[in-house]
């Protein structure tokens, strides 16, 4: 951190003198040139991104417009459907028996963002009540979700669907399920082979694909993130061919918000969606380019937080500005998660009648 601050006050400061803050591509290009490496390792992606965001905010303030309007122009009017993490497993919840890292709800039937947030909070508290009744833990993890000692994907999904019904909503029409497998945590060292650390089960790519297919056929699942390891390109091709028209297949580790990897995935037909994390690529302009490339190829883009977060709300503005139509930013608990939801509520109120909540139109799949 101290090194990043020192770089901002010296090298980056000199590189940006006289630059127009509103020309974010020129600002970012100057910092990348000063860094001189492909991965921003000299100055640090954390330093470059901080200044990139600050430049955007300064320009928006000078123009007396909101950040989402500065980044997205007149087209910035679509609120995102939340991909809300309510059950944690994998390495995010070591006490849980679940190998899948995140089980999430998506309120696709809500009429507005304001209502969708209320719906999610009601399901979250209904789930807490169910877990308490069963004597299971209701403490929350880093992203605000529960980490109960559940034993299988099926048990986790069925418990969530029970909470949806208990809150008075209908699975499939009001709410859909999303999952983050984080299957890179399961790789064995042999591409196309996986070992689930908690269950002890060993899968080939084909067997793991069949597992996802069975879950998709049985439950109202609309999105699976990192269903296979990031280097299992052949597996991803097969997965996309078999499930890509039914569910959203999101690449996080697969693409790492990197246009080179995304371009390869598009060419090979791997996945149909990219997870967007600002600090993976390290500048606002490069993030915009990744989203643009995804949309041009017919891929969806999901704006995302990190497991370690702050109360900065830039990703909320970014989701509206770039019409990503989906956001992944944790449960309706913990202030650093709720900060993003509060900002989206403010944006919806400011947009008024022009605000659009996309519901199932946020997805390019048939389910």
Residue identified by tokens 């304001």 is 114
Q: Is 205 exposed, middle or buried (0-12, 13-18, 19+ CB in 10 A)?
A: buried
**Active-site residue list:** 143, 277
Residue identified by tokens 């069975």 is 214
Residue identified by tokens 């591409």 is 191
CB-CB contact of 250 with 226 (8 Å): yes
Quick one: which of 227, 264, 268, 261 has its CA closest to 246? 227
Cβ-proximal residues to 100 (8 Å cutoff; 6+ apart), any chain: 89, 90, 153, 156, 179, 180, 181, 182
Cβ-proximal residues to 70 (8 Å cutoff; 6+ apart), any chain: 22, 56, 59, 60, 63, 321
Return the bridge partners of 194, or none.
187, 203
Backbone angles phi, psi at 245, to 5 degrees: -90, -5
CA dist 144 and 127 (Å) reads 13
Question: Is residue 303 classed as helix, strand or coil in its secondary structure?
Answer: strand
Quick one: which of 163, 283, 179 has its CA closest to 221? 179
Pairing of strands 300-304, 326-328: parallel
CA dist 262 and 264 (Å) reads 5
CB-CB contact of 216 with 247 (8 Å): yes
CA dist 190 and 232 (Å) reads 10
Cα angle, residue 267 at apex, residues 363 and 24 outer, rounded to 5° = 70
């Amino acid at each position: 951190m101290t090194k990043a601050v020192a770089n901002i006050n010296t090298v980056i400061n000199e590189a940006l003198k006289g630059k127009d803050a509103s020309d974010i591509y020129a600002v970012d290009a100057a910092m990348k040139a000063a860094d001189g490496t492909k991965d921003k390792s000299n100055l640090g992606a954390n330093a470059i991104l901080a200044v990139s965001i600050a430049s955007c905010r300064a320009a928006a303030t000078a123009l007396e417009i909101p950040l989402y309007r500065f980044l997205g122009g007149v087209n910035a009017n679509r609120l995102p459907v939340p991909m809300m993490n309510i059950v944690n497993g994998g390495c995010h919840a070591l006490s849980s028996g679940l190998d899948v890292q995140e089980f999430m709800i998506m309120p696709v039937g809500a009429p507005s963002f304001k209502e969708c947030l209320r719906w999610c909070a009601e399901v979250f508290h209904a789930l807490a009540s169910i877990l308490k009744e069963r004597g299971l833990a209701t403490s929350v993890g880093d992203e605000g979700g529960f980490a109960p000692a559940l034993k299988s994907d099926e048990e986790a999904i069925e418990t969530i669907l029970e909470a949806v019904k208990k809150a008075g909503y209908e699975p499939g029409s009001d709410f859909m399920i999303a999952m983050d497998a984080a299957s890179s945590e399961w790789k064995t060292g042999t591409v196309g082979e996986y070992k689930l650390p908690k269950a002890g089960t060993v899968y080939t790519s084909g067997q793991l694909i069949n597992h996802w297919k069975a879950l998709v056929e049985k439950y109202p699942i609309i999105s699976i993130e990192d269903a296979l390891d990031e280097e299992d390109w052949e597996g991803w091709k097969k997965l996309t061919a078999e499930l890509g028209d039914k569910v959203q297949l999101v690449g996080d580790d697969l693409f790492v918000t990197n246009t080179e990897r995304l371009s390869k995935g598009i060419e090979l037909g791997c996945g149909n969606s990219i997870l967007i994390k600002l600090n993976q690529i390290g500048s606002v302009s490069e993030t915009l380019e990744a989203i643009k490339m995804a949309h041009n190829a017919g891929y969806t883009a999901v704006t995302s937080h990190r497991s370690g977060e702050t109360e900065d709300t830039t990703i909320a503005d970014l989701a509206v500005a770039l019409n990503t139509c989906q956001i992944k930013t944790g449960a309706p608990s913990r202030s650093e998660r709720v900060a993003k939801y509060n900002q989206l509520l403010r944006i919806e109120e400011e947009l008024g009648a022009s605000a659009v909540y996309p519901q199932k139109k946020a997805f390019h799949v048939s389910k």
